[in-house]
Amino acid sequence: MKLKAGKQMDKLIIIFIMFVIMIFLTGCQKVKDENGEYVNTKFGFIEIENENQKQLLYDPETKVVYIYVYDGYNAGISPYYVIGKNEKPEIAIYGVNYNKGR
């Protein structure tokens, strides 16, 4: 009986180790942007700015800029707005009406 319990424990340890490795392999990564520079990504978005508990990210396909705010267990994401030429708020588009950051 001890031999079977030992093998089961070994299997559980291996499964746990594989699970931990999978968690560490997911998340942020660096990719090349359209200029060939390596940039940080998060959730498929490219990071523009990162300060305190706020990040500005943009979608590489649509170029829409988003603000991602987090604090402990709370987080939220929303399109980022800038004041346009006609003094009205408009959604920030990276490279069009928003060029800060990198």
| pTM higher than 0.75 | no
Q: What is the pLDDT of residues 48-99, one digit of tens each?
A: 888 888 989 988 889 999 999 988 888 899 999 999 888 999 999 998 998 8
Comparing 9 with 58, the larger pLDDT belongs to 58
Q: For residue 1, what pLDDT band results from cuts at 50, 70 and 90?
A: very low
Asked if the structure places residue 7 within a domain, the reply is no
The range of the structural domain enclosing residue 57 comes to 28-91
**Helices within the chain (DSSP H only):** 2-25
| Number of alpha helices (DSSP H) and beta strands (DSSP E) in the chain | 1, 8
- With a cut of 50, say whether residue 28 has pLDDT above it: yes
For the beta carbon of residue 55, count every other beta carbon within 10 angstroms.
19
Asked if the structure places residue 59 within a domain, the reply is yes
Sign of the alpha-carbon dihedral angle for 32, 79, 94, 62:
positive
What residues does 41 pair with on adjacent strands?
29, 46
Asked if the structure places residue 12 within a domain, the reply is no
Asked if the structure places residue 19 within a domain, the reply is no
Nearest to 40 by CA among 102, 93, 95, 92: 102
Asked if the structure places residue 71 within a domain, the reply is yes
- With a cut of 60, say whether residue 2 has pLDDT above it: no
Q: What is the domain count for the chain? A: 1
